Amino acid sequence: MTDHDHDLAVVGAGPAGLAAAVTAAEQGLHVALVDAAHQPGGQFWRHPDESFPAPDEARGQHLWSRFTDLRARLYALESGAGGSGRIDRVAGHQVWFLERGPETSYTLHLTPTVLAGTRDATTRVRAASLVLCPGGYDRQLPVPGWDLPGVMTAGGVQALLKAHRSIPGRRAVVAGTGPFLLPVAQGLAEAGATVVAVCEANAVTGWVRSPLGAAAVPSKAVEAAAYAGALLRHRVPFRTRTVVTEVLGVDRVRSVRLGRLDREGRLRSDAPTRELDVDLVAFGWGFSPSVELVTAVGGCVQVDADESLVAIVDEWQRSDAPGVYVAGEATGVGGAVLALVEGELAGLAACRDQGRRVPERVVRRLQRRVRRGRAFAGAMHGAYPVPAGWQDWLRPDTTVCRCEEVTVADVHTACDRLDARDARTVKLLARPGMGWCQGRVCGFATARMALPPGERPSVADLASTAKRTLAAAVALGELASAGDEQPFSPEHDCNGT
Ligand SMILES: Cc1cc2nc3c(=O)[nH]c(=O)nc-3n(C[C@H](O)[C@H](O)[C@H](O)COP(=O)(O)OP(=O)(O)OC[C@H]3O[C@@H](n4cnc5c(N)ncnc54)[C@H](O)[C@@H]3O)c2cc1C
């Protein structure tokens, strides 16, 4: 399939993208669904290879019946194999560049992912409008020793557990902040690993700061209780206001050093330090939404309560760019249920804006659920901030940017001796965020380190490591064959960057 025209292109086949694509196709739109993975589900419903059907496919999953329902509807709507042909699914391909044509149609430039294992002919998809649901990636903070083998992101560990049934260690510590630490610890324990501790940097009482938001989605309390029960069953110690201040080992992780935090999130000097022997460390400090495709088409972004850069959308999930809707984590980290609701709403909005009748009562119900979901997400971000003192346990030789091997000392030199006052200048002078991952791993930390302590990052601070002209790495040949069409440049720079 090359240069195919569609009413709508959806990027991402996670909860948000699946809901958007299926909803829009069932309302009659001809949809292209592009996803980097070779099978649908995104991060939340990552599962073993469907070509080898497994009886325990649902193991470790939540809301699995929602997924199997969406998947069945997707396959029934797909072209080929008896499907209705309303959805052309382009699996195993990344959108590396988005272009807006003169009449607000969009061209998606695609490159096959390594996992796809094929280099099929799909290089471009054209569509009248777009729903962007690219999700996000694990937010990481540097710590001495975090570049040793055996240290992983919590999401990476979860992906191995869910898709490959594989445990990357036998004695694990899960550390950072936020509710996502719980399913990762549970998954590891149920897969047979010994989880020696979950180290949560905050106190669970943080939720009381925003009781209305916390109560907005009551099912979340039930979910939390289920995780607490699972940790009790597996005798996993849950330590609050505790952080890993150092990962120890020579050729790989041997142990971690723990520290206790005070109420302000600073290391307590009066508390004894403790070491735990482990061969796996799973760090999770929340997630960073992927907004590069949003900014590529001129969509505006803002800084969310968790200091992430997120797309600005209206009550129909419309971004500022004409015909472009955004749903899921890219509008703010809020979990899979909210992503599903936003995706369905975005699918209906795209249909309505293309002149189709949509069920107004359903729309109003979805909009109410989005508002409640966002209130809950705000309470969650307030309860699990990155601790104020996280830079206190860094050392001059701690690596910040792993791709370009930039250390804490390099960043401090850029700030203190070369007078860099913002993340962009630090990036230019010391090169953090300039390597292969384009700041996905170090971007948040670099933006924070460039600022005076306690100062909230601005859109420009975060955008300097989150805006990426190319959303994925491509071979020079692909770049050359993309043609010489003029890339779209937005008339107004709403992001001030
Ligand atoms: C590694 C990881 C693991 C996670 N595991 C869990 C979990 O187990 N439980 C939980 O509650 N939450 C988990 N989360 C949080 C979770 O992502 C969300 O709550 C939920 O999946 C959000 O749904 P979404 O549709 O917005 O995004 P996602 O589910 O992340 O789906 C986004 C999809 O877009 C695709 N994509 C992104 N960019 C491009 C591009 N340029 N071109 C083509 N395709 C693209 C991705 O391949 C992905 O399939 C995880 C997050 C991460 C980063």
Residuewise pLDDT in 10s, the chain (497 residues):
444 589 999 999 999 999 999 999 999 999 999 999 999 999 999 999 998 888 888 888 999 999 999 999 999 999 766 667 899 999 999 999 998 887 778 999 999 986 555 555 668 999 999 999 999 999 999 999 999 999 999 999 999 999 999 999 999 999 999 999 999 999 999 999 999 999 999 998 888 788 888 888 888 888 889 999 999 999 999 999 999 999 999 999 999 999 999 999 999 989 888 999 999 999 999 999 999 999 999 999 999 999 999 999 999 999 999 999 999 999 999 999 999 999 999 999 999 999 999 999 999 999 999 999 999 999 999 999 999 999 999 999 999 999 999 999 999 999 999 999 889 999 999 999 999 999 999 999 999 999 988 889 999 999 988 888 899 988 888 888 776 655 555 555 666 55
Q: State whether the beta carbon of 122 lies less than 6 angstroms from ligand 1.
A: no
Q: Measure the CA–CA gap between 291 and 86, rounded to whole angstroms.
A: 27
Strands (E), 104-252: 106-112, 124-132, 136-138, 151-153, 171-176, 194-200, 238-239, 242-249
Q: How far apart are CA 407 and CA 398, in angstroms?
A: 5
What pLDDT digit, counting tens, does each position of 417-446 carry? 999 988 999 999 999 999 999 999 999 999
pLDDT at site 496: 53
Return the best residue to mutate from 38, 39, 43 for the ligand 1 pocket (most ligand atoms within 8 A of CB).
43
Q: Ligand 1 centre and the CA of 138: distance in Å?
A: 10
pLDDT above 90 as % of the chain: 78
- Please tell me the pTM assigned to this model: 0.95
How far away, in angstroms, is 196 Cα from ligand 1 center? Answer: 27
Ligand 1 centre from 249 Cα, in Å?
32
What distance in angstroms lies between residue 133's CA and the mean position of ligand 1's atoms?
Answer: 9
CB 226 within 8 A of CB 63: no
Ligand 1 atom nearest the C-alpha of 329 is 26
DSSP string, 435-495: STTTTTTTHHHHHHHTSPTTPPP-HHHHHHHH--SSSS---HHHHHHT--PPPP--SS-TT
Query: Ligand 1 in contact with 294 (CB < 6 A)?
Result: no
From atom 41 of ligand 1, which residue's Cα is the shortest distance away? 95
Residues 6+ apart with CB under 8 A from 69: none
CA torsion through residues 8, 14, 15, 18, sign: positive
Atom of ligand 1 nearest to the CA of 153: 1
